[in-house]
Amino acid sequence: MPRVPRMVVTDSGQKAAYHVISRTALDGLPFGKVEKDELVRIIQRYSAVYSVEVLGFAIMGNHFHLLVEVSPADSMSNEDVRIRFHLLYGETIEFPEERLEEYRERFCSLSAYVKDIKQRFSCFYNKRKKRKGTLWGERFKSVIVEQGSTLIHCLAYIDLNAVRAGIVKRPEDYRWCSIGYHIQTGNKDGFLSSDLGTPEFGEDDAATQLKTYREYLYHIGAIDKRGKAKISRKVLDEEATEGFEMNRLRRFRYRSRYFTDSGIIGSRAFVETQYETFKDHFQSTREKIPKRVKGIEGMYSLKRLAEA
């Protein structure tokens, strides 16, 4: 049977939001910490290339979720097309001017965006596991999501994946989801949209948006779902007592993962010196640059060492 055509919004000048879900064809839970970290990195890379805004994500042991807004092709200037081309292929590759419209359409295509993410991750996974063959199951699912309350409810559904699976008690404890990324990294590199769907509640200040979203998320997560784990009444009450604010002590607790997940941590000079000694221990062949650990003055880290 022929494939059912994918529903894609084509209205000129209109952004469209989609909830994307894709599952592996492998049995069990094949994605561990290294695989989840790499999939997040790949999503970040292609989200910079494509004209998409990532509102939310969750990387689980055998599937991933994305909530993205895709811009229409007519919103992209010719120069923007060229910039995105060089982000993808490098500055040394000459841009093919005769294919300008082809690349404009591609960089605003949900299908091309997800295809690139999945293909790049498949190459990484198969090389790491020394295997060949299909990694992903059926083609990815995509649901068109209405802006407003529907959008924020979808975002909450994605961020609560790890809670429902019984992996964590609080959604931000799981670093491979959007609320975890916001809290644990301070939304490093501006990877995620900062509004968190909260303009629906009339919020526009970043700190207030985060607080408002967490309050909504915890109340939604505490609703009893048959056969599913949920946020406990005790945890909900604790958060309510704190006014759903993230105090400095709790923020430091989330930053503390750098002490176990980093390859090297310390002052910038220390990290750079040690990196020169241990370059061959890192997965990537590209030159590494120390990243500042937000919330801890003067501390830098490099990504953790490759696992054997």
27-30: long-range contacts (C-beta < 8 A, 24 or more apart)? 28/61, 28/62, 29/60, 29/61, 29/62, 30/61, 30/62, 30/125
- Asked if residue 247 and residue 133 are part of one domain, the reply reads no
Residue 51 lies in a domain: yes
Q: What percent of the chain has pLDDT over 90?
A: 49
pLDDT band at 272, cuts 50/70/90? confident
Look up the CATH number of the domain holding residue 67: 3.30.70.1290
Strand partners, 65: 21, 58
Residue 18 lies in a domain: yes
Residues of the domain holding 216: 146-255
Residue 5 lies in a domain: no
At residue 271, the pLDDT reads 78
At residue 205, the pLDDT reads 76
pLDDT band at 115, cuts 50/70/90? very high
Residue 80 lies in a domain: yes
Residue scoring higher pLDDT (46 or 283): 46
Which three-class secondary structure string do you get for 170-192?
CHHHCCCEHHHHHHHHCCHHHCE
User: What's the mean pLDDT in 276-303?
Assistant: 70
C-alpha–C-alpha distance, residues 250 and 183, integer Å: 10
- Asked if residue 177 and residue 105 are part of one domain, the reply reads no
- Averaged pLDDT score across all residues of the chain: 84
147-156, 180-189, 268-277: which has the minimum mean pLDDT? 268-277
Query: In degrees rounded to 5, what are phi and psi of residue 255?
Result: -70, -25
pTM for the full model? 0.78
- Asked if residue 120 and residue 182 are part of one domain, the reply reads no
C-alpha–C-alpha distance, residues 200 and 133, integer Å: 44
Last residue of a domain, one of 145, 178, 195: 145
Q: Is residue 59 scored above 70 in pLDDT?
A: yes
